[in-house]
Amino acid sequence: MALNPIPLLGGKSVHCINEQQMAEAIRLAEDDKEASPKIQKRLKELEGDLSRNELAALAFIIIQRLKNSA
């Protein structure tokens, strides 16, 4: 029996994002004078090159790699 894939764009998720972690990520991406320009530059490039689903896949892969590298 084939399992239906879980969509990356919402609904059921295997990861839970802590609100404090999200707030810190937003602060770093938007307000930090060193990190923000680098993050914003990469986001603009990625959002121009990748579809929404591809961006979601990339986000999950980055989270997984960070988990495995800690």
Q: How far apart are alpha carbons 16 and 13 in whole angstroms?
A: 7
Q: Are 24 and 36 contacting, i.e. CB atoms less than 8 angstroms apart?
A: no
Q: How far is CA 34 from the centre of its chain?
A: 20
What does the pLDDT look like over 41-53, one tens digit per residue? Answer: 999 999 999 999 9
Q: Global pTM?
A: 0.72
Please state, in angstroms and as integers, the Cα–Cα distance from residue 57 to each residue in 2, 50, 54, following that order.
21, 10, 5
What does the pLDDT look like over 6-28, one tens digit per residue? Answer: 555 555 555 677 888 889 999 99
Tokens 């084939």 — which residue? 2
